[in-house]
Amino acid sequence: MNKDAFRKQAPLPVAIHRKTGEPLNLGEWQADPDAAVGPADLGLEQQIALVAARWRAGGWPDLIYGTDGEIDAERAIREMKMQSAMGRHLLAIGLRAIEMARADAGQGE
């Protein structure tokens, strides 16, 4: 991940702390990856909380969703919590974005 991309991604949550249950941003996770719950071990509520925390930390009030166009982040979070078809899709996209950020950060420059 180049320096500009890391600067933008570093404050965004990418994991859940195994002891506190709080989101860890990319910089914190990179400094101590063992403090994080493994992605495969996250429960559904933790996954939703992580993706929601990432959207909020990014300051994204709206998201683009397929043919529905712009939807506000709070609706997206509600959809994830309800586990509607849209919510499940948004969760999968959010988790994939986290996975890619962690992988990119591990590759260096």
Q: What is the pLDDT of residues 64-104, one digit of tens each?
A: 887 778 899 999 999 999 999 999 999 999 999 999 999 98
The contacts of residue 25 (CB under 8 Å, 6+ apart) are: 10, 11, 12, 13, 14, 57
pTM of the model: 0.90
pLDDT digits 0-9 by tens, 6-28: 888 889 999 999 999 999 999 99
What value does the mean pLDDT take over residues 38-64?
92
